[in-house]
Structure 1
């Protein structure tokens, strides 16, 4: 059975960033959107990861009617240290006259808020179509307008009922294969789809030779109150890579210890097989006692750390967030960079589509305009993140002396701290 639906923009990828893209377009333009996601999109889609939303991201979410403060705690200071050396620095919200440096949220909770907003406001409006459990199989007529996108069920996913039956445009049975016509195609599918390279995006990978260990960890005793009041996020550099702790609310089903943290621990490749569970004693030895005594952890998730980019200009197609650049987590900038991608894409749409015009008249030039608009911010963030990996993931004599001097200098001079803190807050 074949059907043909027409929308202004198709978003391939219905995770947090893809759904946020849909919400931003619907809130700030009069365009119609279809979201294609290979997994089932539900109101309880589970994602154990946490992100630190920079102030820029917090403000943009507020514009879209989402208050991150309802989802997690605000970071009032950041403590940076270097294992085995005296270099350290504290960056505080008070020093830059703001209430907080960012907000830590669970991606599941954030995704649920976005999903609820979409279903509440737009699923019955005729402007939003959601294809849950489907994949974008191919794009035909890439050189012609509009794009013709072939969509099929994801064979590895369980195709169950929609969260809301009105999210699908079909009155009878859901088709096995169908065609979507669209003026623009946005990729928000992370690294997973080979379709990006098939269409002409150039893929590049830089392997950092590290693995990331993600888990939630708890402390049951506070060692130094100045690292809890104000509430503190930690970044500690080791010879194998950084160890970051973000303060979070007590995870569901876990005991309410003194404080829980979302941990990202970067390790060498030859260490990865030893992390079936978190060795709390080893964690304590590497991190020290600033946060308190580690007493509990959830099961860790271990993954390779690489910089994966999809670059180039493909007519009528753009990549957002991790689909464009999947960064090393050393600076926690990946999701915030994706939010800025969304913000600028929607700004271009807003500024170039008049009340009497459709998206068709700008579609052919949109990709080139977006790529140029985002070029500097993306390049600076990728370069800075990769440089931090090189500088802070080794114990080479001379290099460690310079970075310790840098941390001490940063801590000493308020002007430098203010500049650095503004960057940490996601300000361009």
Structure 2
């Protein structure tokens, strides 16, 4: 494909990780690169410099390896264990890679590193992105979809895939939406007694607090995702580093010793926004289809599974039949992830007498291997 081409089999709106993975997978499954239109509003350099941390499941690693987009091993930090607990209540669960016979349950990587690997995979496959360009409007016809870009160009495609999700609060409401009235505070932090390759999910009265191991130039570090009430988030962002680390230590406890350093802090609103409207020739994947609470770190991984199934079907025939088959095949996995993350986000994010039972359930989970194994398999591979 070149930037002057105007007709495609599949036009992908959004060249984030899910959109680029879909493009590379389509080429891997046999679709000519000239039939793949990849459109993104951001220049590539902006995405490459994005410092956010992302969690990739073991199943996502296998998918990325399939398209040659896993040179991340040198920069990604492997998760060998996930420690789950409830603040102030008895009970915890520890999920270990050895229970599943894999080298890692998942990985923590920098967003920009993943974009770089996927961009290289698309380039090797001959897929060239149209960027920066935004889709300003579209018109669906019986035999295709017409797209108008913000620079005036007109494109046509047999199928259009929406892969530009954005964040909750900046999206149009879909058929299922819920505002959790939480804000995620994110940062990179260091601790005095880190445990290598162990991730933590700590449930508090305001929401989950996740610490994901992400080694840096200074040694062991953690990517922090701390879900709190919006007013608390503003207060945390306003604190100096020492006061912020003290508040974090009070919320998390002493499992990692003292928190000793923090990088720049950011924040974003949390909500559920799922089940988009579908048409005969348009489909949404990833965050564009389901924006989830980060409680289980499944959003990107669910989107990559969307991409894998859609690529297989569209490579056979880019048309309405493939999109209908996609909706049927992805219904169970999508529904399960949405329900589980929504239930976890609501159940643990409040104080009350039921919290002792929830804490106890974590302890019981640790003693009942079949249930714990199912949870671990779901986190790594989704519903199969």
Tell me the TM-score normalized by structure 2: 0.91
- Contact conserved, 1:310 with 1:325, CA < 8 A, in 2? yes
Task: Give the Cα–Cα distance (whole angstroms) in 2 for the partners of residues 46 and 315 of structure 1.
Answer: 37
- Alignment counterpart, residue 211 of structure 1, candidates 145, 170, 183: 183
Match of 1:165 in 2: none
**How do 1:56-67 and structure 2 match up within 5 A?**
56-67=59-70
- Helix, strand or coil for the counterpart of 1:70? coil
* Structure 2 alignment gaps of length 5 or more: none
What residue number does 1:318 align with? 283
Report the Cα distance in structure 1 between the residues aligned to 2:115 and 2:166, rounded to whole angstroms.
19
Segments of 5+ residues of structure 1 without an aligned counterpart are 123-127, 154-176, 354-358
List structure 1 segments (4+ residues) > 3 angstroms apart after TM superposition.
201-204
Work out which of the residue numbers 33, 42, 46 in structure 2 matches 1:39. Answer: 42
Relative to 1, partners in 2 of residues 1:43 and 1:393: Cα closer, same or farther, differing over 3 Å?
closer
- What secondary structure, in the 3-state scheme, does the structure 1 residue paired with 2:330 have? helix
Alignment CA distance shift 1:44-1:188 (3 Å):
closer
**Distance in 2 of aligned mates of 1:111 and 1:130:** 13
Tell me the equivalent position of 1:117: 121
The 3-state SS of whatever aligns with 1:99 is coil
385-394 or 365-374: which moved more? 365-374
| Contact kept? 2:175, 2:277, Cα under 8 Å | no
Check the 8 A contact 1:11/1:187 in 2, yes or no. yes
1:346-365 mapped onto 2 (5 Å cutoff): 346-350=311-315, 352-353=316-317, 359=318, 363-365=319-321
Matches of 1:19 and 1:379, distance apart in 2: 24
How many angstroms apart in 1 are the aligned matches of 2:215 and 2:187?
Answer: 14
Counterparts of 2:112 and 2:307, CA distance in 1 = 19
**Partner Cα separation in structure 2 for residue 222 and residue 191 of structure 1:** 36
Question: How far apart, in 2, do the equivalents of 1:420 and 1:286 lie?
Answer: 25
What is residue 75 of structure 1 aligned with on the other side? 79
DSSP-derived class of the 2:104 partner: coil
Shift of 1:152: 2.1
SS in 1 for 2:115: helix
CA distance in 2: counterparts of 1:349 and 1:134, whole angstroms: 24
Please give the secondary structure, in 1, of the residue aligned with 2:69.
coil
Q: How does 1:12-411 map to 2 (within 5 A)?
A: 12-31=13-32, 32-42=35-45, 45-67=48-70, 68-122=72-126, 128-140=127-139, 142-153=140-151, 177-191=152-166, 202-219=174-191, 221-222=192-193, 227-228=195-196, 231-250=197-216, 256-257=218-219, 259-276=220-237, 277=239, 279-350=244-315, 352-353=316-317, 359=318, 363-397=319-353, 399-411=354-366
Deviation, 1:121, is 3.7
